[in-house]
Amino acid sequence: MEKSWMVWRLPVVAGCLLFIAGCMSQPMMGGGDVPLTNTYWKLQEVAGAPMPDAGAAREAHLILRDDGVVNGFSGCNAFRGEYEVINNRNLVFSRMASTRRACHDVDIPEPAFFRALENTAGVQMDDRYLRLLDANGKELAEFEAISQP
């Protein structure tokens, strides 16, 4: 009897540990159950200034993929890089690259957008909004989850 208890105890403990680990790696969710990854995040505000209406042009946005890749559009240039979520609240971008189109529209805050990505240390999510924060908790940019165009 003692031996049979030992035989099935190890698989049960291992299964419980795997279940707990799986729960810990679930995607970060906002208050409205919008997942951080594979969501089209439209840039609403950067460096405290609201984004101008893109009109017929492509809007600034980013998409964080499940595989740790981020890609998007700054309003003038496409970009791509990597990201990492640490402790389910810190977000860090790395290895960022973009196309180099000359942008003549001064209303496009592309430099501020790229600075926000570079200085991101944290993230805050609620309802349908994603806010990128610096190391001091100051908001750098705000995005809204929308249906992919």
Predicted pLDDT of residue 63:
98
Predicted pLDDT of residue 103:
80
Question: From CA 37, how far away is CA 19, in angstroms rounded?
Answer: 21
The range of the structural domain enclosing residue 65 comes to: 28-146
Predicted pLDDT of residue 58:
83
Residues (pLDDT < 70) of the chain are: 1-32, 55-56, 105-107, 148-149
Number of domains in the chain: 1
CATH number at 83 reads 2.40.128.270
Predicted pLDDT of residue 68:
98
For residue 19, tell me if it sits in a domain: no
pLDDT, tens only, 81-97: 999 999 988 999 999 99
For residue 20, tell me if it sits in a domain: no
Contacts of 142 (CB under 8 A, 6+ apart): 43, 44, 45, 46, 129, 130, 131, 132
